[in-house]
Structure 1
Amino acid sequence: MFTGYCIDVFFAALNLLPYAVPYKLQPFGDGRKNSSRTELVRLITTGVFDAAIGDITIITNRTRIVDFTQPFIESGLVVVVPMKKMNSGAWAFLKPFTKEMWIVTAAFFLIIGTVVWVLEHRLNDDFRGPPKKQVVTVLWFSFSTMFFSHRENTVSALGRLVLIIWLFVVLIINSSYTASLTSILTVQQLTSPIKGIESLIATSDPIGYQQGSYSRDYLIEELGIQESRFVPLNSPEEYAKALRDGPHGGGVSAIIDQRAYIELFLSTHCEFSIVGQEFTKAGWGFAFPRDSPLAVDMSTAILKLSENGDLQRIHDKWLMRSACTSQGATLEIDRLPLKSFWGLFTLCGLACLLALFIYFIQMIRQFSRHKEELQSSDRSLQSGRLQKFLSFVDEKEDELKSRLKRKQSERSSNRSVGDESMNDSKEAYAESSSSRNHEN
C-alpha cells in the first residue's frame, strides 16, 4: 500500500476527472536512500514510467523534458540550524536597540537640548547665566526629558512646540525599549550564530541537504557554494544527529531543504529552528510526458481541489503538526533598528529646523528694526555686523526693551530741552526787537 500526502492529492484529483484512468503504482528507489527526482523524471522520457507522482519540485531543467501539472503546494528552500538558549548577561539592558539606534537617540537628546536653549535663551532665566552653567543646563535638560523630569520651564511658543514633539518621541522610545527589554529578560530565547543563507555562505562549515533533491545543484550552480561543503542526509533522524553533532563533531552547522520537509521535521525536534527567509520559490507537481492531456486535466482537477478546500484539508492531515507549541521557546528577539523610528526622528528634526528658521527670521527683523538705536546707545557695538547680531541675540529681551525704552526717554527729554531753549531764544529776540522799536 502507498500512503502519504502526495498520494492523497493524486487520488483526490483523479476522482475529479471526467473519465476513468487505469493506473498501477510502482515504487522508485531502493527504499534506503532518497532517490533522485531528476532521474525519476528522466525515466518518463525513456518509457519506463508513464507518469511520476510524489514530492517532485518543478524546476527549469525538468520542465524541458516533461510536462508538469499545476503546483499543489509551495515549498521553497530554507535554512534550519540548532538553537541555543541565550543568557541575558550583565549588559542585557543594551540589547533592545541596535548600535545605530543608541547613537542617533543620544545625538537627538543633545540636539533637542541645544535647540531649546537657543529658543529660550533670550526669554527664560533658567537658560541664562555663566557659560559653564549653561552647558550643564543644556545637558541636564536634554537627558532629563528621558524620564519627563526636566525642571526648566519653556516660555516661548517655538520652544514649547519642539518640546511637545520631542516628548512624544521619547514616549514611543521608552515604551518600545521597555517592551523589548521585558521580553529579553522574561521570555526564554534561542539564538544561533547563523542568521540566514547569507551568513551561512560566509562560513566554511559543512551543510546538510536531502539526498536526491535539487537543493544541492541549486546551491552550487546559483549561489556558488563549494561542493565539498555538502553532506547528504536521508532521514529526519540523520538530520537531528548531524545538527546535534555540529561541524566540530562530524555533523553540520545547518541544513538546507524545502520548507514542507523542514516544518514536518521541526514538529518533533524543538531544539532546531528555521532562520532567515525562504530564499527560493518552488512548487511540487505531478510529471507527465510531453503534450499529455492528463497533465492539463490533472491541473484542472488540482485547481478544483484548491477552490473547494480539499487540498488544504489534505495538507492539514499530513503536514500540520504542533508538538513543539507547548515548549514556550522563542527565537532571539530582533533588536529594534533605527529604521523602525526613522519617521519619528525625521518629524522631530523637521520641527527643530522649522523652529530655528522662524526664530532667526524674527531675530533678523528685530535687529534690523533696532540697529540704529543699538549703535547709537552702545559704542562697543561699532564693530562687524555679525558680532552686532550675535550680541543682540545673546542679550535678554527684557533688558534690551528696557534699554531701548530708556534711550527713547532720553531722546524725548533732549528734544523737550531743545524746544525750551529755542522758545527762550525766540522770546529774547522778540524783546530786543521791541526795545529797539521803542527807542526809535
Structure 2
Amino acid sequence: MEFFTHSTLLEMECPIPVTDELVKMVAEGVFDAAVGDIAIVTNRTKIVDFTQPFIASGLVILAPIKNTKSSAWIILQPLTVEMWCVTAASFVLMGVVIWILEHRLNDDFRGPPKRQLATIFLFSFSTMFKATKEQIVSALGRLVIIVWLFVLMVIKASYTASLTSILTVKQLSSPVTGIEDLVASNWPIGYQVGSFVPGYLVENFNIARSKLVSLGTPEDYERALRQGPIKGGVAAIIDERPYVELFLSKQTEFGIVGQPLSKSGWGFAFEKNSPLAVDMSTEILRLSETGELQKIYKKWFCRKGCFTEKIQQSKSNQLPLSSFMGLFLFCSFFLLIAILIFLLQTVCQFVRCKRMQMDPSSSSSSTSSESFSSRCSQVMRNYFSFIDKKEDTIKKMFKHNSHPESQASSSGV
C-alpha cells in the first residue's frame, strides 16, 4: 500500500485538504481513519484518538536570508559595546594602580605631570603587546602585572577565536530574527491552507487574523517571500518543520530563523476508542525501533538532503560582558588588595615620620587654635606630599633621625 503525505501533495502541486475538516469527519464517523500528515494538537485530541507520532514536527519561521557583507569595522564585532568599554577602563585602571605602586620606587614613573600621565596610558596599553620599556621593581607591582597578563591572555584568546569565527563562518542575516519581530510589527505573516497555525498564533501570541495570509503551494511560498511585506507579500511564513525542510531543499534564498514556536508530531487519526489506533501505534513504535521510520522520512523529505541549518547572526559570535564578569572581579580583587597593602605601608611610614618630627611644646597650642576640618585637610596634604617622595629619601630620613639616638646610647655606655 502506498501512503501519500501532505508533503507529496506539495511536490505534485495537488490541492491541499483542510485537515481540521478531515479530523471532524473521522469524529463524526464519515471515515474510519485519517492517514496522513496530521499534526497532533490539543483541539483535535479531544474528538479523535491519535497514534504515536511517526514524525517529529513543530512550528518554525521561514524568512528570506542573505549573506552579510564584511564591514570595515569587522574587527570590533567580536566584543559587545559594554565589553569594549569595560576592557578599556580596565587598561586605564591597571595603569593607574601600577603608577601608584611604582611612583616612589621607580624613576620611570616619575617626572613632570604630563610625562607621568603619558606613562600611565602608554604602559597600560603596551602590556597588550608585551612591549613595555618600563621595568617593574616593586613586589606589589609585579603581582598586579602577573594577574593582569593572565586576564589579558584570556581576553585576547577569546577575541581571536570570535574574530576567526566571524571571518570564516558564513554569516547570514534576515530582517526577521524571531516571533518577537512579527508580533511587534504590522508585517503580514503567511501560513499553509488548512493548517492549525492561525488559531495557534491568535491564542498564544495575540496576533490579529488580519495579518495572516493563507498560501497553498510552494510557488505561493516563494512568490510571497520574494515580494516581501512592502510589495504585497509576507515578511515570513510559519509552518511545520517537515514542510519547511522540503521547501528549503529546493530553495537557497530562504532559511529558518529564530527558535521553534512549538514541538509536536504527526500521527494518524481514528475514532474515539478505536482498537486500530493501538495496533497502528504498536507498528509505528516497531518501525521506529528498527530504523525503518527514519528511512521513510529521508526518502520522502530528504531527497536532496535535509535542510537543518539555522541563520547565524553575527551577534551570536560576540563576547558579552557577562561571560567575563568573574574574570574582571578576580582582577579587581587583586588590585584592591595591592592598593590596601600600599596604603597600609605608607600610612605606617607617615605616622612614624610625623612622630619623629613632632614638637611636644607646640603641639597643644596648635591643636587648640585649629579646627578639626583644617587639621584633616593639612594632614591629607602632608600625606600626599609624603608619598610623592622617593622611597630612598624616606629611608635616609629615618636613618638620619635614628642616628643621634644611637650615638647617645653609645656615649652613655
* TM-score normalised by L of structure 2: 0.84
- CA distance, structure 1, for counterparts of residue 310 and residue 282 of structure 2: 42
Check 1:344–1:410 CA distance in 2 against 1; reply closer, same or farther (3 A cut).
Answer: farther
Aligned pair 1:56/2:38, yes or no? yes
- CA distance, structure 2, for counterparts of residue 166 and residue 5 of structure 1: 62
Contact in 2 for aligned 1:98/1:336 (Cα 8 Å): no
Check 1:378–1:317 CA distance in 2 against 1; reply closer, same or farther (3 A cut).
Answer: farther
Aligned pair 1:67/2:61, yes or no? no
Check 1:357–1:252 CA distance in 2 against 1; reply closer, same or farther (3 A cut).
Answer: same
1:261-305 Cα deviation digits (max 9, x unpaired)? 111211110111111111211111111111222223322332222
1:82 corresponding residue in structure 2? 64
- CA distance, structure 2, for counterparts of residue 407 and residue 213 of structure 1: 95
SS at match of 2:190: strand
- CA distance, structure 2, for counterparts of residue 56 and residue 322 of structure 1: 24
Amino acid at match of 1:136: A
Report deviation, 1:213.
Answer: 0.9
Matches within 5 A, 1:392-431: 392-416=386-410, 419=412
Aligned pair 1:269/2:251, yes or no? yes
Report deviation, 1:239.
Answer: 0.9
Check 1:314–1:118 CA distance in 2 against 1; reply closer, same or farther (3 A cut).
Answer: farther
Check 1:352–1:151 CA distance in 2 against 1; reply closer, same or farther (3 A cut).
Answer: farther
* TM-score normalised by L of structure 1: 0.79
The one of 304, 307, 315 equivalent to 1:334 is 315
Report deviation, 1:308.
Answer: 2.1
Report deviation, 1:329.
Answer: 11
Check 1:139–1:377 CA distance in 2 against 1; reply closer, same or farther (3 A cut).
Answer: same
- CA distance, structure 2, for counterparts of residue 395 and residue 73 of structure 1: 79
Gaps of 5+ in 2: 367-374
1:111-147 Cα deviation digits (max 9, x unpaired)? 2222333333333332233332222112112222233
Determine what percentage of the aligned residue pairs are the same residue: 49
Aligned pair 1:282/2:276, yes or no? no
Stretch deviating more after TM superposition (196-205 or 349-358)? 349-358
- CA distance, structure 2, for counterparts of residue 276 and residue 108 of structure 1: 35
- CA distance, structure 2, for counterparts of residue 246 and residue 275 of structure 1: 16
1:149 corresponding residue in structure 2? 131
- CA distance, structure 1, for counterparts of residue 182 and residue 265 of structure 2: 24
SS at match of 1:81: strand
Amino acid at match of 1:132: K
1:73-113 Cα deviation digits (max 9, x unpaired)? 22111111111232223333322322222222222222222
- CA distance, structure 1, for counterparts of residue 313 and residue 224 of structure 2: 23
Stretch deviating more after TM superposition (392-401 or 131-140)? 392-401
Report deviation, 1:176.
Answer: 3.6
Report deviation, 1:2.
Answer: 4.2
Aligned pair 1:160/2:161, yes or no? no
Check 1:4–1:155 CA distance in 2 against 1; reply closer, same or farther (3 A cut).
Answer: farther
1:148-193 Cα deviation digits (max 9, x unpaired)? 3232232334333332333233333334434444454566533222
Count of equivalent residues? 394
Structure number, greater radius of gyration: 1
Contact in 1 for aligned 2:246/2:301 (Cα 8 Å): yes
Contact in 1 for aligned 2:242/2:301 (Cα 8 Å): yes
- CA distance, structure 2, for counterparts of residue 171 and residue 361 of structure 1: 26
- CA distance, structure 1, for counterparts of residue 163 and residue 342 of structure 2: 45
Report deviation, 1:255.
Answer: 0.9
- CA distance, structure 2, for counterparts of residue 39 and residue 291 of structure 1: 20
- CA distance, structure 1, for counterparts of residue 250 and residue 134 of structure 2: 60
Q: CA RMSD in A?
A: 3.2
2:352 corresponding residue in structure 1? 372
Gaps of 5+ in 1: 9-26, 421-440
Check 1:152–1:189 CA distance in 2 against 1; reply closer, same or farther (3 A cut).
Answer: same
